[in-house]
Amino acid sequence: MAKAMTKSQIADHLAKRADIKKVQASMVLDEMAKLAYKEAKNSFTLPGIGKIVLMQRKARMGRNPQTGQAIKIPAKKVVKFRVAKAAKDAILGKK
């Protein structure tokens, strides 16, 4: 399996495709990340890629794997990413 692209490689690719400087492409990536972090509480959508959402997990009972003792896991907020249908179809192919 090929290695994942680095931020620098993504910025370089975007710069070539959009005919802009690599520094500008890198700045766009940084600003998009900042915007996603700020808007995640309301959900942030990247059209054609997916959606970042903040979810509330309920409190539940779990087990300590070492002792097997039942423990209470408290409720908490988690960040989830939902892949868009267009991305699934493009990557996996249509069924």
Tell me: the pLDDT tens digits for 68-90?
A: 999 999 999 999 999 999 999 99
C-alpha distances in Å from residue 2, one per residue of 5, 7, 10, 93: 9, 15, 15, 19
Q: How far apart are CA 62 and CA 72, in angstroms?
A: 6
Mean pLDDT calculated for residue range 30-42: 92
Which domains are seen in the chain, by residue range?
1-39 (no CATH), 40-95 (4.10.520.10)
Mean pLDDT calculated for residue range 8-19: 94
Q: In the predicted model, what is the mean pLDDT of the chain?
A: 92
Q: How far apart are CA 94 and CA 27, in angstroms?
A: 34
Q: How far apart are CA 11 and CA 6, in angstroms?
A: 9
CB atoms within 10 A of CB 84: 15
Confidence (pTM): 0.74
CB atoms within 10 A of CB 40: 16
